Structure 1
């Protein structure tokens, strides 16, 4: 009596105990390794039914191509780096989300490199990161994007990059411009339209180009309306909650308090909220507050914070697209994002 044929095992059961390789996928699907490679790299030279069969198998066994191995095979890297030195965690997270949006289904992966731009050898650290990872390209996030010496080093070693900055600082094929000055000017116009004349500004560190641009945009917009912002009403802080608290304590301590405060980011605006609450100053009845970034924090504060929305996720998406698209010229015409004011509950006309 002939032996009964055993039921065929599912494909995923035929590669137990180890991660599947491209050779496993080729063997189990009955096609060549070259065909699998073409499917991974979205080649049009594969029949639709073959592509669907192989892709279904890859999903079944959980196969994901190794970017480093692909880089060796194709003599190029499938890794994009993001280099940053920024004290605002939510900004960095949103930037990463945007980059990952652009890389989805592209075969590229994101690797991040936090650094301290105040360190004398931080540029050497970025050089090692780029060379060890054999990066396809690098996204430079403020404040490191503003460092010309870093950009020069990347040019020297032949690494493509995209700089994100409030103004154009390079060839536009390597820039995403965020126009921070325009956003700050919109905040100034809104406060003076409400009738505020005694206005204060808590700005970020002056070694950040974003802080300089936001300060200039705000002060110039008030001047166009005939409002002069004295030096005593401009305080430098550090883009952190704690520095916002310290600056607000100085501004709100005396009897001659400003009727409105514009802060260079939402973290510092939250610091103003804390000092106001502790001092018995009601927002917005006695003090109007405007932030910058429109981070999730803005809508979670009470009253909800009027803030300049900076499209950070879109910025990250655009910067990554300029690196991973085969023809970066296709996105250069739109390599710019513009902020706008989101009005909520933290402002009203001053008391007479």
Structure 2
């Protein structure tokens, strides 16, 4: 009998004219499509040598599984959504980086949905986004995370979600708490310890829970030390650089200026720097300034800005990790505790 022909070993084409498919991977590796699917989804039912061979091939041809197609095949989605309405771009970018840290290697992908929470139909818009994308779960970023109507809608359609907020507003397994009250209280203690008593406060929008907690934490800590801020020393702004400039103009325009200013975020603190420079006010010799968030901006200002660090990237990482936990093992993973980072923007009043 003639000898049986040996099946030639599959070789990887030098350049594919189209993106590789799962069928291409199976054919080139000499395995079934089902085996490739098991490897993509980290099944233990595949021999290690086969797994290594297929994974090497996928890297060489640049194959990337389509999360939507996987969702159809497995009757569940491999997409995590992030819904936000926040004016601070760096905050959103850091939150995305954190989520991607958690999702990397998990088979899940991140899709984002910016929205206007002041629009009357924004909850319906989020519902459409969730249902059209067939999401596995949703991260809710401040300020939308503070909206009970949005959380109730997601609950009504059976959608997993995690809310990131300054205080607990839901069941523990649905919350990442950032404890903004405590972070602002630390600022008050620090400024008082330097000897400041005439202090200005630039808050975020009054309908943001983070602003409520930071304002409350700062004022209550000062009151415990016998310091009451008059209304003229408290200015509401919008968490933006431009609103920080406008607020600083109000605080620094009088003959008697505060000796220190606490800003509800670093963007507004940068606005204070702008006005101080324009008016010839030295930071920190004549005016101490403290921000919140400890964003990259804090170290780019001169002098470098003292700011409250709340690790936004870590917050996003925790929220995404909670969403991809097995449903029978839902549990809170951690809170994110803020702490003050001291730099050169503060000194005792002259």
TM-score exceeds 0.5: yes
Q: 8 Å contact 1:175–1:335 — kept in the other structure?
A: no
Report the counterpart of residue 13 of structure 2 in structure 1.
12
Cα distance between partner residues in 2 of 1:107 and 1:37: 12
Aligned to 1:151: 151
- Kindly indicate whether residue 185 of structure 2 is the aligned counterpart of residue 188 of structure 1: no
**Does the CA contact (< 8 Å) of 2:10 and 2:29 recur in 1?**
no
- State how far apart, in whole Å, the 1-side matches of 2:331 and 2:160 are: 16
State the alpha-carbon separation in 2 of the partners of residues 143 and 42 from structure 1: 36
Contact 1:321–1:328 (CA under 8 A) maintained in structure 2: no
Q: Where does the alignment leave 5 or more consecutive residues of structure 2 unmatched? A: 1-7
Distance 1:162 1:112 in 2: 14
Instruction: Identify the residue that residue 338 of structure 1 maps to in structure 2.
Output: 337
Q: Do the aligned residues in 2 keep the contact of 1:185 with 1:220 (CA within 8 Å)? A: yes
Q: Which residue of 1 aligns with 2:239?
A: 239
Equivalent residue, structure 2, for 1:295: 295
Q: Distance in 2 between matches of 1:328 and 1:140?
A: 22
Task: Note the C-alpha offset of 1:330.
Answer: 6.6
State how many pairs are aligned. Answer: 343
Larger mean CA deviation between 319-328 and 252-261 belongs to 319-328
* Aligned-CA RMSD value: 1.4
1:216 and 2:221 equivalent? no
The runs of at least 4 consecutive aligned structure 1 residues that moved more than 3 Å come to 7-10, 327-331
Q: 1:309-330, CA deviations, whole angstroms, 9 ceiling, x for partnerless residues?
A: 0110000000000111225847
Describe the shift of the 1:45–1:113 C-alpha distance in structure 2 as closer, same or farther (beyond 3 A). same
Distance in 1 of aligned mates of 2:150 and 2:10 = 55
For residues 122-141 of structure 1, give each alpha carbon's deviation from its aligned partner in whole angstroms, at most 9, with x where no partner exists: 11110110011011110000
Give 2:304's aligned residue: 304
Distance (whole Å) between structure 1 residues aligned to residue 179 and residue 221 of structure 2: 14
Check the 8 A contact 1:173/1:329 in 2, yes or no: no
SS at match of 2:290: strand
Aligned match of 1:82? 82
Deviation at 1:248, TM superposition (A): 0.5
Shift of 1:232: 1.4
Paired position in structure 2 for 1:325 = 325
Deviation, 1:295, is 0.3
Q: Cα gap change, 1:25/1:325 in structure 2, threshold over 3 Å: closer, same or farther?
A: same
TM-score where L is the length of structure 2: 0.96
SS at match of 1:291: strand
Other-structure match for 1:3: none
CA distance in 2 between partners of 1:218 and 1:12 (Å): 64
Are the aligned partners of 2:10 and 2:28 in contact in 1 as well (CA < 8 Å)? no
For residues 120 and 281 of structure 2, the distance between their equivalents in structure 1, rounded to whole angstroms, comes to 44
Q: Are 1:77 and 1:136, in contact at CA under 8 Å, matched by a contact in 2?
A: yes
Please report the TM-score for the alignment, with normalisation by the length of structure 1: 0.95
1:335 shift after superposition: 2.8
Do the aligned partners of residues 12 and 205 (structure 1) sit closer, same or farther apart at CA in structure 2, a change above 3 Å counting?
same
State the alpha-carbon separation in 2 of the partners of residues 301 and 294 from structure 1. 12
Deviation at 1:331, TM superposition (A): 5.4
Structure 1 equivalent of residue 93 of structure 2: 93
3-state SS of paired residue (1:261): strand
Partner of 2:4: none
Q: Structure 1: state its 5+ residue gaps.
A: 1-6
Counterparts of 1:16 and 1:290 in 2: how far apart (Å)? 55
- Other structure's SS at 1:281 match: coil
Equivalence map 1:1-352=2 (5 Å): 10-13=11-14, 16-326=16-326, 329=329, 332=332, 334-351=333-350
Q: Distance in 1 between matches of 2:16 and 2:96?
A: 34
User: Which deviations, in whole Å up to 9, do the C-alpha atoms of 1:225-279 show, x marking residues without a partner?
Assistant: 1111111111100000010000100110111100000000000000000100111
Q: CA deviation at 1:21?
A: 1.0
